[in-house]
A and B are shown apart, each in its own frame.
Chain A
Amino acid sequence: MALLTKKDTSLILDPLADNNPITIQVLGICSALAITAELEASIVMAISVIFVMGLGNVVISLMRDIIPSKIRIIVQLIVVATLVIIVDQVLKAYAYELSKTLGAFIGLIITNCIIMGRFEAFALANGPWKSFLDGIGNALGYGVILIIVGFFRELLGSGTLLGYPVLGDPIMKTGLFATGYENNGFMILPPAALIVVGILIWVQRSKNPALIEDN
C-alpha cells in the first residue's frame, strides 16, 4: 500500500488551490491582512499555523470519541491554546525580534477561523492520519496565500525581500531607485493586503470558472 492513497493526496492538495481557506472559503482574513507587510513574518506565521493545525487536528481526532459534544468548543480551544503557547514561547526564545513584529497575532492563531473550522468540520469525524493530512493541507493553503501576499507587499512596499534590498537602496538611489522609482507606501498599509487577496481571488476564479457561485 502506498503511503498516501489518492484520497489522502487530495486532502493535502485541494486546500492549496480549489478549496483554499483564504481565497475560496474566505477564512482567516484578519491575520492575512495584519502580518503580511513583510515576507519573513508571513513565512513564520505560515509555519506556526502548519504546526498548530497539523498537531491540533491529530489531538482532536484522537480525543474525538471522548469529548462530550456540549463542551467540545472549550476542549478545542484548550488544545489550540496549548499549541499556540508552545509556538509563542519558541519564537520568544529563538527569534525575539520577529516575535515582537508578529505581536499579538501569534496569540490570535487561537481564534483563527480556519483552525476551529477544520476541528469542527474534519477532525471530529475522521481518524488521526487523515486529520493530520487535512490540517497540514489547509495550513499550507493558508500559508501559500500569506507568502504570495507577503512577497508582493514587501517587494513593492519596501523594495526588499526577507530584508534583503533586491531593488536597490532608496536613500542612496542605487539599482532601480536610480531611475526615479519609489517604494509604494500604500502596499505597507493593511488595505493593500485586502486588494492583493482580492486580485488573487479574481485570477483564480477567471482561471477556473467552476468556482464562481451563480447568483
Chain B
Amino acid sequence: MSIKSTLHELKMKYQGQKMAPAFNAFHTFLFAPNETTHSGSHVRGADDLKRTMNTVIMALVPILVFSMFNAGYQYYSALNGFPENFSVLEHFITWDNFWIGIIKVLPLVVVSYGIGLLVEFIFAVIKGHEVEEGYLVTGMLVPLIVPVDTPLWMLAVAVVFGVVIGKEVFGGTGMNILNPALTIRAFLFFAYPTWMSGDKVWVYEARERSEQILAGADNVDAISGETILGYLAQNNEAAMSAKYSISDMFFGFVPGSVGETSAFLCLLGGSFLIFSKIASWRIMVSAVIGALVMGLIFNQVVELGWIGETNKFYGLMSFDFWKHLIVGGLAFGIVYMATDPVTGSQTNKGKWIYGFFIGFIAIMIRVFNPAYPEGVFLAILLMNVFAPTIDHYVIQGNVKQRMKRLKNAVVLPRDSESAAKELKAETV
C-alpha cells in the first residue's frame, strides 16, 4: 500500500476528531486532497490558494539567497573595509559570506515558520477548521524585513502577536485587515525600537561589539553599518556617496533589513509575479508613481530654495527623486507587501488610488521622520486600513454613474415612465 492511500485511509478513519485539522494539513501539504465538492456546480481551477502562495515564495527565494550572502558581505566589509575593484564572484558569492547567512538568516526563517505555523495549528485545532495556507508567505516575508541581528525570542513574540492579533482575531486568512507580516514588523519596531533602528543593528555583531567596547574590552574592533537613509537623515550625503555607488544601491550590496536591499531582485520578483498574474501590476505601477511624485515635490522644494542646507530635512529632500526607489525597503514593500490581495484594494480604480498613496506617504514619512528614516511599512499599514473605504467609494461611484446613464437612457415608445421604473428596479 502506498503512503498516499494509507494517509487517505487514516484521514477517513479519524474524521471529525480533535486533531484532524492538524493531520489534514500535513496530508494536503503532501498530496492533492481526496475529496471533492458534493453538490452544486463548480469550476475546477488549478490556481488554488496553495499554488498562489507557492508562486510568491518562488519569487522570494532569490531574495533570500541574496540576503544570506549579503549578511556576510556586509559583516566582512564592515570589518575589513569595502573591497576595491569589487567583483561579485570574488567578494560576494563566497563560502565565508554564505556561512554568516546560514548562522544568522536561516534561524530567523526557521523561527518565523516554526512559531507562526504552530500558532496556526493551535487555532485550527481549537476552531476545528482546516489549517490555512496564509502563513506560508508571511513566514517567508517576516525574516526578510527585520534587521539581521534581531534576537530570535523577539521575533517569536512578534510572530505570535502578529498572527493572533493581526490575523486570527479577525477570523484567519482572508479576513485580516492588516498585512500580518507588516503587523509583526510594526510590533517589533514599537516594542523594541533600539533593536530596529540606528546604525548598530543592520550588520551582524555590530551591536554586540559596541556593547563589549562599552564594557571595556579593548581587543574588539567596533563595526557599524548605517543605512543609506540613515546617512541622509543626518544630512551626511557625502559620506554615503563615498561609500555606496548607485549600482550598489540598485543591486543591493548595502546594509539594511535582511532582504530589502536589492531593488534589482525585487524588480525580477515583481515581473515574475505580474507575469504569473499573482500580484496586481496596477498597485505596483501606481505606488512607483506615487513615490516619484512625492520625491519630485521635495526636490522642487529644495530647488526653489525654500529650505537651506542646514535644515534637518535637507539631506532627504535633496535626494534625487528616482533614487528613492532603489534605497530602503520601498521596492520590497511595493512588490511583496502592498500587493497582498487580502489587505489591498479589490477594484481596479481602487488599486490605482491605493497604490499611489502608498508610494506618496512612504516617501513623506521617510523625509519627515528622521528618527526613523523608513516609512514604507507604516504607509502600507495605513493604506491597508483605508483600502475597504476606497473600494466602497469606487463601487458607489460606479453605481451612481450607471444610474445616471439609466436616467438619460431613451426608453421604449410604450409607456416610457413605468418602463423606466421597471428597468430601474431590475438593475438596482
A180 touches B151 (CB 8 A): yes
Whether A96 is near chain B, meaning CB under 8 Å from some CB there, is no
* Cα separation A180 to B165 with both chains bound (whole Å): 25
* Cα separation A184 to B190 with both chains bound (whole Å): 8
Which residues of chain B are within 8 angstroms of A113 by Cβ–Cβ distance? none
A187 touches B191 (CB 8 A): yes
> Closest residue to B157 on the A side, CB-wise?
A184
* Cα separation A140 to B139 with both chains bound (whole Å): 43
Given contacts A195-B165, A198-B169, A202-B169, contact A182 B190 (CB under 8 A): no
8 A Cβ contacts from A121-174 to B:
none
Q: Is the interface of A mostly helix, strand, loop or mixed?
A: helix
Which residues of chain A are within 8 angstroms of B151 by Cβ–Cβ distance? 180
Whether B83 is near chain A, meaning CB under 8 Å from some CB there, is no
Whether A27 is near chain B, meaning CB under 8 Å from some CB there, is no
8 A Cβ contacts from A187-209 to B:
187, 189, 195, 198, 202
**Distance in Å: Cβ of B412 to nearest Cβ of chain A:** 43
From the candidates A182, A189, A198, A202, name the one contacting B192 in the complex (CB within 8 A). A182
B165 touches A185 (CB 8 A): no
Q: How many residues of B contact A (CB 8 A)?
A: 13
**Distance in Å: Cβ of A105 to nearest Cβ of chain B:** 23
Which residues of chain A are within 8 angstroms of B169 by Cβ–Cβ distance? 198, 202
**Distance in Å: Cβ of B85 to nearest Cβ of chain A:** 40
* Cα separation A186 to B186 with both chains bound (whole Å): 10
B154 touches A182 (CB 8 A): yes
From the candidates B191, B194, B195, name the one contacting A186 in the complex (CB within 8 A). B191
* Cα separation A202 to B168 with both chains bound (whole Å): 12
Which residues of chain A are within 8 angstroms of B372 by Cβ–Cβ distance? none
**Distance in Å: Cβ of A207 to nearest Cβ of chain B:** 14
A185 touches B153 (CB 8 A): no
* Cα separation A121 to B322 with both chains bound (whole Å): 62
**Distance in Å: Cβ of A175 to nearest Cβ of chain B:** 16
Which residues of chain A are within 8 angstroms of B157 by Cβ–Cβ distance? 184
Which residues of chain A are within 8 angstroms of B386 by Cβ–Cβ distance? none
Contact count band on A? 10 to 19
* Cα separation A202 to B187 with both chains bound (whole Å): 20
CB 8 Å contact bits of B124-154 with A (1 = contact, 0 = none): 0000000000000000000000000001011
**Distance in Å: Cβ of B184 to nearest Cβ of chain A:** 12
Which residues of chain A are within 8 angstroms of B153 by Cβ–Cβ distance? 180-181
Which residues of chain B are within 8 angstroms of A202 by Cβ–Cβ distance? 169
Which residues of chain A are within 8 angstroms of B195 by Cβ–Cβ distance? 182
A186 touches B190 (CB 8 A): yes
Whether B114 is near chain A, meaning CB under 8 Å from some CB there, is no
**Distance in Å: Cβ of B245 to nearest Cβ of chain A:** 36
**Distance in Å: Cβ of B292 to nearest Cβ of chain A:** 32
> Closest residue to B186 on the A side, CB-wise?
A186
* Cα separation A202 to B193 with both chains bound (whole Å): 28
* Cα separation A182 to B158 with both chains bound (whole Å): 13
**Distance in Å: Cβ of A33 to nearest Cβ of chain B:** 15
* Cα separation A189 to B190 with both chains bound (whole Å): 9
Which residues of chain A are within 8 angstroms of B193 by Cβ–Cβ distance? 185
> Closest residue to B154 on the A side, CB-wise?
A182
CB 8 Å contact bits of B177-206 with A (1 = contact, 0 = none): 000000000010011111100000000000
Which residues of chain A are within 8 angstroms of B192 by Cβ–Cβ distance? 182, 184-185
B191 touches A184 (CB 8 A): yes
Which residues of chain B are within 8 angstroms of A187 by Cβ–Cβ distance? 191
Which residues of chain B are within 8 angstroms of A185 by Cβ–Cβ distance? 190-193
8 A Cβ contacts from B332-377 to A:
none
CB 8 Å contact bits of B159-170 with A (1 = contact, 0 = none): 000000100010
* Cα separation A186 to B183 with both chains bound (whole Å): 12
* Cα separation A180 to B192 with both chains bound (whole Å): 12
B187 touches A186 (CB 8 A): yes
Which residues of chain B are within 8 angstroms of A181 by Cβ–Cβ distance? 153
Which residues of chain B are within 8 angstroms of A184 by Cβ–Cβ distance? 157, 191-192
**Contact surface of B with A, Cβ cutoff 8 Å:** 151, 153-154, 157, 165, 169, 187, 190-195
Using A182-B154, A184-B191, A198-B165 as known contacts, list a sample of 16 further A-B pairs with CB atoms less than 8 Å apart, ordered by residue number in A: A180-B151, A180-B153, A182-B192, A182-B195, A184-B192, A185-B191, A185-B192, A185-B193, A186-B187, A186-B190, A186-B191, A187-B191, A189-B190, A195-B165, A198-B169, A202-B169
Residue pairs across A and B with Cβ atoms less than 8 A apart, 14 shown, are A181-B153, A182-B154, A182-B192, A182-B195, A184-B157, A184-B191, A184-B192, A185-B190, A185-B192, A186-B187, A186-B190, A187-B191, A198-B165, A202-B169
Q: Which 4 A-B pairs have the closest CB atoms?
A: A186-B191, A186-B190, A184-B191, A185-B191
